[in-house]
Each structure stands twice: as structure tokens, then as C-alpha cells.
């Protein structure tokens, strides 16, 4: 439930409410709005609590949150959350385009890609240094060396980057380099990892699990929020269905559904969703049209030589073309690139 305090409720009134809730065994998330204080109350339902809190001085109303995800719900917070990473802002008017290779392979590869995607209109760079591959025999990433390359390239070119963290013990290390942490689809329910990124002060991109329902995805976000990190961006990247002609099936309806359930920004990854280069542009256009706050697109200087996900990667010309084809839709949606 959420406790909405009166406009002008005093500090001691707020403290008394918090004290009482703490005594009852609830966790509290304190949120200071422009006009009033809102307390998010986390814990199992107990009879009579709402009435008892509502009768306290300084309390305007107590609203039950029916969704199992509390802090992530629109009931808890009505305004869209904006997540800023450098000049990119998710959740506002901007359509944030994140582009780069699946994996960091070399300094030259990242430098060329960063320059090309920035020039074409991307506002963030991507690249995996730790790669959670389906096969243990596939390229696993350059690890810390990859992080160093990302950092150097990002600073030289002037573009912030997101990179995946796969191990709770690496959150601190990756946070030393990255502007945004990525939780991959395979780790969406790695709750220890989610709690760890929840304790960090870095924005987090949370990908939807391969077979996760929207509710499970929002519950994963709740893990991060409940640790105090509200800078979460959801990323729909396709789900497992019976259809074999694409790598996954892009669930476009997830975007407007999430919008009705949560205040968190939601972006789309058409590359992992389809697994096919020729589908990346049409799915990107559809994602923008359905209201996504951004796109994550795999781009490689020479996709045929990529160490991972070459078949779904665009080359530089393909990425430029993609930006041109989404531009009118971005404008029609009242957004800017």
C-alpha cells in the first residue's frame, strides 16, 4: 500500500507514521514529491493496518496497491520515471537509440563503431564484455579488458555506454567502468544479481527473460527498486514461442501493456528479438510506433566476421538507413532522436 501524506504534513507526523509501520514489521520507501511525501509500504497484508494508519495525523489517504509489484507500479508513482545516462534520457520525449556490437572484440572495432553510430544518431553505445553464451564453446567476451576498451572509446568519442553484468561479484567492477548496467534475458530472475545492481548507483537496463511473463519481468524490476535503485529501464527483446522463423517473437504489445502497469521506461531490442538483419528496421519502426522509449540495435563494422550475432547485426550503412527510416515515425510520435 502507499501512504499519501497531507500537503504540509510535518516532519514529526511523517516520522510517527514511519515509526508505527516499522514497529508493525513493514519496510518503507520514502518518496519526497514537490508537494507532499509519499510512503511506499512493503510487507504482507495485515488486517486493520490501512484504517489505523489512515487515522493518524498528517495522513491524507492510504491506497492499497493491488499489483504484486509495488514500487514499479503506476499506482505507486503516476509520473513516468526518467532515467538519464549522459545526454540520453529514457522516459521523456527522446527516442533513445543504443547501438553497437554484440560483443567487444577489439579497440579498433569499438572505436569505428562508436564513431559511426554516434554520427548516424545513436545516443548510447553498447557492447558485451561478459557474454552469457548459450554454448560454453562460444566466445565468452574479453571481460575486464573489454570494459577498458569500452571506457576508453566512450570517453574518446563522447558517447555513454551500457554493458552486461552476469555475475553478482562483478557488479562493483563493471560499475567502475559502465554508464549503465545491463541485466541480460538469461539473468532476469537471477535475484542475487538483481539485488546487487539494486544496491549500485548505476542506471540498469533490465531485459525481459526468454520465457518471462510481463508480471515476472516487473517483479524482477521490483527487486532492483526495492534495494533503492529507481533508475531502471525495461527492455523487450522477444520471447520464446513455437514460431521458428525468427530467433524469438517480438512481443510488441508488451510496450503499451507495461505503460499501463508501470512508470518505468520501456525500450525494444529488435536484433535479439528477430535474429535476422532484414527484420531489424521494420521491427524498429513498429517499436517506435507502439510507443517504445528507445531501441537497442546490434551494429558491427563487418557483421560477416562478428564473433557473435553477426546474422542480426547491421553494418554502418544499414544503421544509417535504419535511422532515416524511423525518423518520420519518431516525429509522428512527438519524439526527438
Helix (H) or strand (E) run with residue 148 in it: helix 144-157
Q: Does residue 62 contact residue 3 with C-beta atoms inside 8 Å?
A: yes
Angle at 11 between CA 10 and CA 12, to 5 degrees: 90
Distance of CA 264 to the CA centre of its chain: 8
Report d(CA 321, CA 312) in Å as an integer.
15
Residue 276 Cβ vs Mn ion, minimum distance, rounded to whole Å: 13
Report d(CA 312, CA 275) in Å as an integer.
5
Out of ligand PEP, Mn ion, none, what residue 207 binds, judged by CB under 5 to 8 A for its kind, is ligand PEP
Residue 286 Cβ vs Mn ion, minimum distance, rounded to whole Å: 20
> Would you say 39 or 147 has its CB closer to ligand PEP?
147
Residue 235 Cβ vs ligand PEP, minimum distance, rounded to whole Å: 7
Residue 185 Cβ vs ligand PEP, minimum distance, rounded to whole Å: 4
Question: Cα Rg for the chain, rounded, in angstroms?
Answer: 21
- Pick the binder of Mn ion from 21, 71, 102, 254 (CB under 5 A): 102
How far CA 287 is from CA of 83, 267, 290, in Å, comes to: 19, 8, 5
* Residues 275-334 contacting Mn ion, CB under 5 A: 309
Report d(CA 126, CA 166) in Å as an integer.
15
Residue nearest to ligand PEP (CB): 184
Q: Which residues bind ligand PEP (CB under 6 A)?
A: 102, 128, 164, 184-186, 207, 237, 269, 272
> Would you say 186 or 327 has its CB closer to ligand PEP?
186
**Distance between first and last Cα of the chain:** 37
Out of Mn ion, ligand PEP, none, what residue 194 binds, judged by CB under 5 to 8 A for its kind, is none
Residue 328 Cβ vs Mn ion, minimum distance, rounded to whole Å: 28
> Would you say 148 or 186 has its CB closer to Mn ion?
186
DSSP code, position 239:
B
Report d(CA 283, CA 275) in Å as an integer.
11
Work out the angle between the directed axes of helices 214-226 and 254-261 (0-180°, nearest 10): 50
> Would you say 9 or 98 has its CB closer to ligand PEP?
98
> Would you say 270 or 318 has its CB closer to ligand PEP?
270
Using rule CB under 5 A, residue 235 touches Mn ion: no
> Would you say 65 or 104 has its CB closer to ligand PEP?
104
Which residues form the interface with Mn ion (CB under 5 A)? Answer: 102, 309
Amino acid at each position: 500500500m502507499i501512504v499519501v501524506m497531507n500537503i504540509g504534513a510535518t516532519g514529526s507526523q511523517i516520522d510517527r507514521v514511519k515509526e508505527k509501520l516499522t514497529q508493525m514489521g513493514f519496510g518503507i520507501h520514502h518518496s519526497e514529491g514537490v508537494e507532499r511525501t509519499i510512503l511506499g509500504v512493503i510487507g504482507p497484508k495485515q488486517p486493520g493496518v490501512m484504517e489505523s494508519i489512515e487515522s493518524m495525523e498528517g495522513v491524507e489517504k492510504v491506497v492499497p496497491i493491488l499489483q504484486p509489484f509495488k514500487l514499479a507500479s503506476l499506482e505507486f508513482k503516476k509520473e513516468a520515471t526518467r532515467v538519464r545516462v549522459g545526454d540520453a534520457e529514457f522516459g521523456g520525449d527522446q527516442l533513445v537509440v543504443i547501438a553497437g556490437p554484440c560483443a567487444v572484440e577489439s579497440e579498433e572495432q569499438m572505436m569505428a563503431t562508436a564513431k559511426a553510430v554516434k554520427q548516424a544518431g545513436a545516443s548510447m553505445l553498447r557492447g558485451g564484455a561478459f557474454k552469457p553464451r548459450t554454448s560454453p564453446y562460444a566466445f565468452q567476451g574479453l571481460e575486464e579488458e573489454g570494459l577498458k576498451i569500452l571506457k576508453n572509446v566512450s570517453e574518446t568519442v563522447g558517447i555513454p555506454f551500457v554493458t552486461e553484468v552476469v555475475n553478482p561479484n562483478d557488479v562493483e567492477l563493471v560499475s567502475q567502468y559502465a554508464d549503465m548496467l545491463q541485466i541480460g534475458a538469461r539473468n532476469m530472475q537471477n535475484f542475487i544479481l538483481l539485488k546487487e545492481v539494486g544496491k549500485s548507483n548505476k542506471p540498469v537496463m533490465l531485459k525481459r527473460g526468454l520465457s518471462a511473463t510481463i508480471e515476472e519481468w516487473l517483479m524482477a524490476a521490483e527487486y532492483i527498486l526495492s534495494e533503492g535503485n529507481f533508475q531502471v529501464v525495461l527492455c523487450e527483446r522477444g520471447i520464446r514461442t513455437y514460431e521458428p522463423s525468427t530467433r524469438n517473437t517480438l512481443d510488441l504489445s508488451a510496450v503499451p501493456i507495461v505503460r499501463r502497469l508501470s512508470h518505468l521506461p520501456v525500450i525494444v531490442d529488435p536484433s535479439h528479438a528477430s535474429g535476422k538483419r532484414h527484420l531489424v528496421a521494420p521491427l524498429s519502426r513498429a517499436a517506435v510506433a507502439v510507443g517504445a522509449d528507445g531501441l537497442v540495435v546490434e551494429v558491427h563494422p563487418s557483421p560477416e566476421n562478428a564473433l557473435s550475432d553477426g546474422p542480426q547485426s547491421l553494418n554502418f550503412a544499414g544503421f544509417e538507413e535504419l535511422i532515416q527510416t524511423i525518423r518520420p515515425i519518431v516525429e509522428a510520435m512527438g519524439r526527438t532522436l
